[in-house]
Amino acid sequence: MKAWDQIINAAMLGTDKPMPARGDVSVEIVDLNMIIDTIDGSDKEDRFLQKAALVYNYRRSGFVPVKKQEVTLTMAENESLPYCSTQAVSLLNNILEEDNAWLFKFWLFRCAAKQQLLIPDHLPVALDKAQKDTELQQVTITCSGKRGEWLSRFNPHWNYFQSTPDDEIWLTGKPEERLKVLQKTRREDPEKALQMIRETWDQENAASKADLVKTLKANLSKTDLDWLESVQTEKSQKVKDELLDLLTSIPGSAINQKYENLLRQSVSLKKEKGLLGLMSKVGIQQKLPDSFDESIFKMGIEKFATGKSTTSDEGYIIYQLVSLVPPSFWEKQFEVSPDVVVEYFDKYAKSLLPALSQAVIRFNADNWIPFLLDQSQFYPEFFYKLNAEDQEKYLLHFFYNDSFNTIQNALTSTNEWGLKFTLTAMHFMANNPYHYNRNFFKENIRVINPGILPKLESITSKDANLQNNWEKIRDYLNKLLALKQQIRQVF
């Protein structure tokens, strides 16, 4: 308002400075201004304040609204799916209040699985959370329904609702986005992923080449071999290392054949007749041939054992070779089944058993896993491939000797822990409440089995000094588990 701007300008400088002339005052109040000027006995400050009060009241007395009929708002479409129940709404309020990211995610996934929707009240908070956590984006889109999609159009931060086609991301996206697209394609259509890399290979820089090659590890097969071998001339050491890692993981690759040939000559099963020829004595002989193709030392095999190692250089070379050939090699080499191979290694070449395990992992030889579970070392890769029941057995096998690390390993499970392991771990945790504190349970409620709820109260700390702390943590855990259980009940 012009009159008010004049008041502010005059007030800034003060009445000691020249005041606006009458002609500068807005027409709406010019007459009243003149009356104020004629009041007897008033000084210039009084007159200014009265004029200012007049304009202030003029300004405050209503307003003329801006009329803009052409400004419109589209309507959100009606939902085709039902909203979640009032119990689910109330539960979500509790989860949001608890500020537990995993429970929120779990609620969303269950809601989506039941084809139900978030109520409009929850949309802003859900959309905000998904903006920060990309893992939540797809499920949030599903649970937000048409109202959420409509709402997202008004907030640029929620643009993840408008998905860009994978092909476009691959060609124009950021490196991390391109990598995600490639990983997804590799899982769904391995050959297409290889084709995508081939097409853009020459335009990629060394850093992204290494990352892209790494994605081929998923669903790696002989069909990748030709291309991988053709790009071995790459200059970047990082890319070379990645290529070598892949080539060594493909049975039948030239490099793999070299390893096998050398190993065939170096490790053999030795059977000797025992006393009176009644019993045969078995042994595993490990000895490198006097001369062999030393090019393997440029192809992923270290020539010398590290200084601190107790293994000889020869033993170390053999160890590396064992870890880099498919386990099926031994079935032919020893002419026995996998369980017997493992038995022989265990009896006659125990130091090579970890190398054999690594080979099982590298070549996804899952049929060998059951025979390697009794080792003293925990292999996460074996653990992930076991069913829930076997996972629990595997964990319990290690728990009593190394509880801390076993729990740490168990936390990497994609499944919820079995009831027996949960109970066993919980008794241990009750005695280590400073390690397994509220934050630990907040972060890891995903794996804790709510089946222990009826027994939770009876789990106590042996040390009376720790009991008080544990009780507080237990109450908190109780609350989180109850929420987890309720999510399963309401959906």
Residues that bind another protein (CB under 8 A): 4, 7-8, 11-17, 43, 45-46, 48-49, 52-53, 56-57, 59-76, 90, 93-94, 97-98, 120-121, 123-124, 127, 147, 150-151, 154-155, 479
DSSP string, 360-405: HHHTT-GGGGGGGTTSSS--HHHHHHS-HHHHHHHHHHHHTT-HHH
DSSP letter at 29?
Answer: G
Smallest distance from another protein to CB 449, Å: 21
Contact 461, 430 (CB under 8 A): yes
Nearer to another protein, 124 or 252 (CB): 124
Residue 269, phi then psi, degrees to nearest 5: -90, 130
Nearer to another protein, 63 or 308 (CB): 63
Q: Token digits for 60?
A: 């405050």
Q: How far apart are the C-alpha atoms of 453 and 315, rounded to whole Å?
A: 52
Smallest distance from another protein to CB 115, Å: 20
Task: Fill in the amino acid letter for 154.
Answer: F
Nearer to another protein, 78 or 205 (CB): 78
Q: How far apart are the C-alpha atoms of 172 and 475, rounded to whole Å?
A: 50
Smallest distance from another protein to CB 56, Å: 5
Q: How far apart are the C-alpha atoms of 92 and 97, rounded to whole Å?
A: 8
CA dihedral 432, 438, 441, 442 (to 10 degrees): -160
Rounded to 5°, the CA angle 435-439-441 comes to 85
Smallest distance from another protein to CB 460, Å: 16
Nearer to another protein, 22 or 59 (CB): 59
Query: For the chain, first and last CA: distance in Å?
Result: 57
Smallest distance from another protein to CB 107, Å: 16
Question: 23 Cβ partners below 8 Å, 6+ apart?
Answer: none
Smallest distance from another protein to CB 163, Å: 21
Nearer to another protein, 120 or 251 (CB): 120
Nearer to another protein, 107 or 383 (CB): 107
Nearer to another protein, 225 or 466 (CB): 466
Smallest distance from another protein to CB 41, Å: 12
Nearer to another protein, 23 or 65 (CB): 65
Contact 256, 250 (CB under 8 A): yes
Contact 221, 190 (CB under 8 A): yes
